[in-house]
């Protein structure tokens, strides 16, 4: 009897093993058939079953990994993240071909699970189609009415600098981390436009958000986000940094909803004080229109987009700029000498001074180029089949336009890996902007806040250089390494600030 059970037991064990083996072979075969590259699709590194290229990329230096792959597979190549394909474009010519020459075909955004869960395809930056067109058009026209890109905004920026300078002076030349101070100063500009007021630097809720924004953006570009987008049913139930990112963005939206509630309590349709007031009016006026996308949820998401983008991009660029000034004190001295000769110490700078400050302008632009704040741009998606680099890219594929490969393109920049303001100066010392300088992207998805960012960068940086000299603490050398995320930020550093 024992021998019979033994035979049956061994048969069952073997049968289970066979079933498991068959299941594994079946899954791998089905995955290969479903996800194999067609001959007309761009080449790329070999993708593993199920996970694709998730573990092929160094997620702490993704922009560098993707740029290195271009040397092996060409300027147009493909990667598979889980079950989703993406095509990576490298070099100025290929990126321009997509963003400018085929701008209508790549105007959409992909909608991975993490983005769906966060913004439900609404707002300005991550929406597509009619929602995007309506929200972007309204945001641009409304913000222009409140001074976006106009001289009337200069006093607000310069007044905010005085608050920032006061905070700098309070450290009395001792080392401090300028990160949060710069974040709060820059953020208050977009807050003035969107909320109708600035926040005091000591405001606890405001300060908490400033601390968390960078962390959230790092998680959004980490392997945790990639795993979430590849296996959402599993990752939604697992703990990890992806859950932290969700809490950060929920806190940001709650912050905005408090502002919205206060606006609604004091709302006068005839007195439009800021973006939120104008949006509330638009909701009322568009009621009953079948194609209207204006509602309170899109209001919160649009304000969230403006608040986040209007805070992090310019403040991160300024932190890079100051870090380069302490690394290259001779460049800092030359900038200060030019400012002293044109503006002096008796008045505040103005955007009209920019034409007479070519070297200062060149330094700002070179800090943008080297800082490479949005290294991989925001992702695009094809809305029809297109041809790029001799390959066919089907509708619905995510497109990564690798801005790192453009801002450091050896065919476009004389010394791409060196901080060199001469990249933006002609032989006569006049400012020139090369076509490959596209830190704000290009085409239909060009950053809507570009004019605001340019004004903030010039006025803040010029004011910093006019009033202060920046240096590293004694015995400390500047570290130029970065913290990778949706935005590329310098590692936290301390500086000493001396009044001039």
Overall average pLDDT of the 480-489 stretch? 95
Written as six digits, the tokens of 418 are 């060196």
Q: For the residues 388-393, what does the mean pLDDT come to?
A: 94
Q: What is the length of the chain? A: 500
For residue 43, is pLDDT > 50?
yes
Strand partners of residue 451: none
Q: What is the pLDDT of residues 296-323, one digit of tens each?
A: 999 999 999 999 998 999 999 999 999 9
Q: What is the reported pLDDT for 479?
A: 95
Average pLDDT on 259-268 reads 90
On the question of pLDDT at 472 being above 90, the answer is yes
* Mean pLDDT within 457-480: 96
Flag whether pLDDT at 65 surpasses 60. yes
* pLDDT band for position 27 (cuts 50, 70, 90): low
Instruction: Please say whether the beta carbons of 45 and 52 come within 8 A.
Output: no
The residues, any chain, with a CB within 8 Å of residue 39's CB and separated by 6 or more, are none
Contacts of 79 (CB under 8 A, 6+ apart): 44, 45, 47, 52, 53, 56, 57, 66, 69, 85, 86, 88
Does the pLDDT at position 239 exceed 80? yes
- The helix/strand/coil state of 366 is helix
Mean pLDDT of the 486-493 span:
96
Q: For residue 422, is pLDDT > 90? A: yes
Is the pLDDT reported for residue 14 higher than 70?
no
Give me the mean pLDDT over the 384-397 stretch: 95
Residue 9 has pLDDT above 70, yes or no: no
Closest by Cα among 480, 344, 385, 398 to 493: 480
Cα-Cα-Cα-Cα dihedral sign, residues 418, 423, 428, 429: negative
Residue scoring higher pLDDT (179 or 269): 179
Q: To the nearest 10°, the Cα dihedral for 290, 296, 301, 302?
A: 70
- Nearest-angstrom CA–CA distance, 422 and 278: 44
Write the DSSP assignment of 111-164 as a string of letters. --HHHHHHHTT-SSSS--HHHHHHHHHHHHHHHHHTTTTSGGGHHHHHHHHHHH
Rounded to the nearest integer, the mean pLDDT of the chain is 92
Q: How confident is the model at residue 32 (pLDDT cuts 50, 70, 90)?
A: low
* Per-residue pLDDT tens over the stretch 356-366: 999 999 999 99
Mean pLDDT (whole number) for 424-431: 96
- Rounded to the nearest 5°, which phi and psi values hold at 381? -145, 140
Q: How confident is the model at residue 1 (pLDDT cuts 50, 70, 90)?
A: low
Q: Which two tokens stand for residue 228?
A: 């979430």
Whole-number Å distance between alpha carbons of 9 and 11: 5
pLDDT, average across residues 173-186? 96
Crossing angle between the packed helical segments 154-169 and 179-194, to the nearest 10 degrees = 150
- pLDDT value of residue 8: 45
Residue with tokens 């905070």: 167
Q: What does the pLDDT read at residue 88?
A: 98
pLDDT of residue 5: 47
Tens digits of per-residue pLDDT, 127-152?
999 999 999 999 999 999 988 878 88
Number of neighbouring beta carbons within 10 Å of residue 422: 14
| Beta bridge mates, 483 | 489
Are 218 and 482 in contact, with CB atoms under 8 Å apart?
Answer: no
pLDDT score at 151: 87
What pLDDT score was predicted for residue 83?
A: 87
Quick one: average pLDDT of 272-295? 92
pLDDT at 103: 95
Mean pLDDT along residues 388-406: 96
Distances (CA, A) of 102 to 81, 125, 443: 25, 19, 9
- Residue 64: pLDDT above 80? yes
- Who wins on pLDDT, 120 or 451? 451
Express each pLDDT in 402-414 by its tens digit: 999 999 999 999 9
pLDDT over threshold 90, residue 437: yes
DSSP 36: P
- Report how far residue 331's alpha carbon sits from residue 324's, in angstroms, rounded to the nearest whole number: 9
The pLDDT value recorded for residue 19 is 67
Q: Burial, 475: exposed, middle or buried (Cβ in 10 Å; 0-12, 13-18, 19+)?
A: exposed
């Amino acid at each position: 009897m024992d021998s019979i059970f033994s035979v049956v037991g061994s048969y069952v064990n073997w049968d289970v093993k066979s079933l498991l083996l068959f299941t594994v072979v079946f899954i791998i075969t089905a995955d290969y058939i479903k996800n194999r590259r067609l001959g007309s699709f761009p080449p790329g590194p070999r993708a593993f079953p199920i996970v694709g290229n998730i573990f092929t990329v160094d997620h702490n230096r993704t922009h560098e990994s993707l740029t290195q792959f271009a040397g092996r597979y060409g300027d147009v190549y493909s990667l598979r993240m889980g079950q989703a394909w993406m095509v990576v474009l490298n070099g100025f010519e290929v990126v321009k071909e997509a963003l400018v020459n085929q701008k209508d075909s790549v105007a959409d955004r992909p909608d991975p699970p993490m983005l769906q869960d966060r913004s439900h395809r609404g707002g300005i930056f991550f929406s597509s189609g009619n929602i995007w067109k309506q929200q972007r058009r309204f945001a641009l026209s409304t913000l222009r009415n409140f001074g976006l890109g106009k001289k009337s905004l200069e006093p607000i920026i310069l007044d905010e600098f005085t608050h920032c300078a006061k905070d700098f002076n309070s450290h009395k030349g001792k080392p401090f981390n300028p990160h949060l101070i710069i974040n709060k100063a820059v953020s208050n500009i977009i807050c003035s436009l969107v909320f109708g007021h600035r926040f005091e630097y000591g405001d606890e809720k405001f300060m908490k958000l400033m601390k968390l924004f960078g962390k959230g953006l790092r998680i959004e570009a980490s392997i945790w986000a990639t795993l979430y987008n590849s296996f959402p049913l599993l990752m939604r139930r697992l703990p990890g940094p992806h859950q932290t990112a969700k809490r950060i963005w929920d806190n940001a939206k709650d912050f905005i909803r408090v502002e919205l509630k206060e606006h609604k309590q004091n709302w006068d349709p005839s007195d439009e004080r800021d973006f939120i007031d104008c949006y509330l009016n638009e909701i009322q006026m568009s009621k009953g229109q079948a194609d209207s996308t204006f509602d309170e949820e899109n209001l919160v998401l649009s304000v969230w987009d403006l608040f986040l983008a209007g805070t992090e991009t310019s403040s991160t660029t300024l932190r890079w700029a100051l870090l380069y000034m302490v690394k290259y004190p001779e460049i800092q001295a030359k900038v200060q000498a030019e400012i002293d000769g044109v503006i002096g110490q008796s008045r505040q700078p103005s955007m009209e001074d920019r034409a007479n400050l070519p070297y200062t302008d060149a330094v700002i632009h070179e800090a943008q180029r080297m800082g490479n704040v949005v290294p991989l741009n925001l992702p695009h998606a094809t809305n029809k089949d297109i041809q790029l680099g001799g390959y066919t890219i089907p509708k619905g594929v995510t497109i990564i336009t690798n801005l790192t490969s453009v801002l450091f393109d050896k065919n476009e920049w004389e010394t791409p890996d060196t901080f060199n303001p001469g990249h933006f100066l002609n032989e006569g010392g006049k400012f020139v902007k090369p076509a490959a300088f596209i830190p704000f992207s290009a085409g239909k998805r060009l950053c809507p806040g570009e004019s605001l960012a340019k004004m903030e960068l010039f006025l803040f940086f010029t004011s910093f250089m006019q009033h202060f000299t920046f240096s590293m603490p004694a015995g400390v050398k500047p570290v130029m390494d970065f913290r990778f995320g949706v935005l590329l930020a310098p590692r936290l550093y301390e500086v000493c600030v001396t009044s001039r």
